[in-house]
């Protein structure tokens, strides 16, 4: 099994041990909220996250309770992302789940299909809503929507941009700036691969990618290839010559060492370490990379650019997200929705992401947090890519374990154990077989 980095992409939330003393930690059983004798409601909500992120959530809780003295909010964190969803599903089955909870984008389809989430479309259109459906960027809902109903909404997002190291590019003899080329409509695949070849010749890593859905599907989209799924949800990429050609090109670049799968780098010499020590030209990640660069004190050497395309014009690429849903059996529906809609609102996202937040708002009216300190120089790129980007295809995200299985199959291509046609044929079989189950 690959050491998957899904956790790094779920709205930038890097999972770690919880080092602050929060109530109702992962060792105990879940309990939903209720209404006390005075008519005051308690809303229990759950997520995963680092200590810093959970501290910010607690600050939001306190601010929310000041504005709503009749609603008490309790955070129920779970330490490990790998344990989070299985525990939550068990709680939902035993009717002990929190009232409101985060859901990862690799699990949202399974939760929607479980029938345990509250339908939200009517509530989102109500007078009490601060989060109308059209306020969100449509490409971010992904598998959270089904049969014209909404079951969760993206709490924020992270477009996969190409971070680049100006120092590494200079050392490889690259004289052109990727972001400047993009502004001029000249950021082409040929230019990008030319830079990667120079980096490789200089004994540096060209580009590092995490092996997950946004890498392979963004590559196809950026190279002008149609989606690998048809309107019925059937996988058809293996029958399309352009898809096969583009995937073989991607596989060849990994096989010759120009591109590197970040998941496979050894402990102690991981992708972050390689990047901050100027040993790689490009690293495909989200906004959370700001924290890594600033912690290393090297942020001035780095900027971001969108994915290159064959004609130099922008193309839709992957945007990771995590979601906020409401327990369909909550006993405090009105209070839970009040918390849900304010947490996701523009004001709520500004509160959570301002001052160096690690994600990009998923709703209109909160973009100021991305541009507030002018870093990176082309921070607008995050917003531009979010506006046209897409979440994982619903046909894939709805099937438990399928995104990871597809990534593992493509890993064989990247290692030269298969060719693109073989891998795509295997993916088609995986989709068909697992979808039937």
Q: Examine the pLDDT at 115 and tell me if it is beyond 60.
A: yes
Separation between Cα atoms, residue 51 and residue 319, nearest integer Å? 24
What is residue 98's predicted lDDT score, i.e. its pLDDT? 97
Strands 41-47, 71-77: pairing kind: parallel
Percentage with pLDDT > 90 across the chain: 84
Q: Examine the pLDDT at 185 and tell me if it is beyond 50.
A: yes
pTM beyond 0.75, yes or no: yes
Structure tokens at 24: 């109702």
First to last CA, the chain: 21
Residues 6+ positions from 27 with CB-CB distance below 8 Å: none
Residue 358 banded pLDDT, cuts 50, 70, 90: confident
Three-state DSSP string of 171-196: HCCCCCCHHHHHHCCCCEHHHHHHHH
Separation between Cα atoms, residue 298 and residue 112, nearest integer Å? 42
CA-to-CA dists, residue 220 to 14, 238, 298, angstroms: 27, 13, 32
Separation between Cα atoms, residue 41 and residue 212, nearest integer Å? 40
Report the SS3 class of residue 146. strand
Q: Domain residues of the chain, as ranges? A: 6-158+321-388, 161-317+399-436
Q: Examine the pLDDT at 4 and tell me if it is beyond 90.
A: no
The pLDDT tens digits for 198-239 are: 999 999 999 999 999 999 999 999 999 999 999 999 999 999
Q: Examine the pLDDT at 25 and tell me if it is beyond 80.
A: no
Structure tokens at 254: 């990994």
Q: Examine the pLDDT at 1 and tell me if it is beyond 50.
A: no
Q: How many other C-beta atoms can be found within 10 angstroms of the C-beta atom of residue 380?
A: 14
Task: With beta carbons less than 8 A apart as the criterion, state whether 189 and 223 touch.
Answer: yes
Mean pLDDT of 71-83: 90
Task: With beta carbons less than 8 A apart as the criterion, state whether 17 and 426 touch.
Answer: no
* Mean pLDDT lowest among 6-10, 24-28, 238-242, 305-309: 24-28
CA neighbor of 308 nearest in space, from 271, 278, 289, 281 = 281
Mean pLDDT of 107-129: 95
What is residue 35's predicted lDDT score, i.e. its pLDDT? 72
Per-residue burial over 41-74, b = 16 or more CB atoms within 10 Å of its CB, e = otherwise: bbbbbbbbbbeebbebbbebbeebeeebeebbbb
* Mean pLDDT lowest among 77-81, 110-114, 271-275: 77-81
Q: Examine the pLDDT at 416 and tell me if it is beyond 60.
A: yes
Q: Examine the pLDDT at 18 and tell me if it is beyond 60.
A: no
The mean pLDDT of the chain is 91
Q: Examine the pLDDT at 39 and tell me if it is beyond 80.
A: no
Percentage with pLDDT > 70 across the chain: 92
Q: Examine the pLDDT at 26 and tell me if it is beyond 60.
A: no
Q: Examine the pLDDT at 113 and tell me if it is beyond 50.
A: yes
Task: With beta carbons less than 8 A apart as the criterion, state whether 342 and 50 touch.
Answer: no
Domain 161-317+399-436 belongs in CATH node 3.40.190.10? yes
Dihedral sign for Cα atoms in the order 395, 400, 403, 409: negative
Same fold, 6-158+321-388 and 161-317+399-436: yes
Q: Examine the pLDDT at 10 and tell me if it is beyond 80.
A: no
Mean pLDDT of 328-332: 96
CATH of 6-158+321-388, one of 3.40.50.80, 3.50.50.60, 3.40.720.10, 3.40.190.10: 3.40.190.10
Dihedral sign for Cα atoms in the order 197, 202, 203, 206: negative
């Amino acid at each position: 099994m690959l050491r998957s980095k899904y956790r790094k992409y779920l709205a930038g939330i890097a999972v770690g041990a919880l080092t602050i003393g929060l109530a109702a930690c992962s060792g105990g059983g879940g309990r939903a909220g209720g209404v006390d004798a005075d008519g005051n409601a308690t809303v229990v909500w759950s997520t995963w996250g680092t200590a810093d992120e959970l501290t910010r959530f607690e600050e939001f809780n306190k601010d929310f309770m000041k504005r709503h003295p009749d609603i008490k909010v309790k955070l129920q964190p779970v330490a490990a992302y790998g344990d989070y969803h299985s525990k939550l599903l068990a709680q939902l089955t035993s009717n002990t789940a929190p009232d409101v909870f985060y859901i990862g984008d690799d699990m949202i389809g399974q939760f929607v299909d479980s029938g345990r989430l509250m339908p939200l479309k009517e509530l989102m259109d109500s007078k009490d809503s601060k989060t109308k459906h059209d306020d969100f960027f449509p490409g971010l809902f992904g598998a959270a929507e089904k049969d014209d109903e909404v079951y969760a909404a993206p709490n924020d997002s992270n477009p996969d941009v190409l971070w680049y190291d100006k120092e590494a590019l200079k050392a490889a003899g690259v004289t052109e700036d990727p972001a400047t080329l993009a502004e001029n409509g000249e950021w082409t695949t040929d230019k990008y691969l030319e830079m990667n070849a120079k980096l490789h010749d200089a004994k540096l890593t060209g580009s590092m990618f995490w092996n997950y859905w946004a890498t392979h599907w963004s590559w196809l989209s950026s190279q002008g290839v149609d989606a690998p799924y048809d309107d019925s949800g059937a996988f058809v990429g293996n029958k399309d010559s352009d898809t096969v050609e583009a995937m073989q090109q991607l596989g060849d670049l990994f096989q010759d060492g120009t591109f590197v799968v970040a998941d496979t780098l050894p402990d102690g010499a991981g992708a972050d370490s390689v990047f901050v020590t100027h040993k790689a030209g490009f690293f495909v990640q989200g906004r959370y990379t700001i924290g890594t660069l600033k912690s290393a004190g090297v942020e001035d050497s780095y900027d971001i650019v969108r994915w290159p395309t064959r004609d130099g014009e922008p193309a839709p690429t992957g945007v990771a997200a995590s979601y906020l849903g409401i327990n369909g059996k909550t006993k405090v529906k009105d209070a839970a929705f009040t918390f849900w809609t304010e947490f996701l609102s523009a004001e709520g996202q500004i509160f959570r992401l301002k001052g160096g937040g690690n994600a990009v708002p998923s709703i209109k009216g909160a973009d100021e947090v991305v541009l507030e300190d002018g870093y990176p120089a082309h921070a607008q790129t995050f917003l531009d890519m979010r506006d046209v980007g897409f979440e994982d295809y619903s046909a894939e995200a709805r099937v438990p374990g399928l995104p990871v299985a597809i990534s593992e199959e493509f890993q064989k291509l990247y290692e030269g154990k298969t060719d693109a046609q073989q891998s795509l044929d295997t993916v088609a079989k995986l989709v068909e077989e697992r979808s039937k189950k």
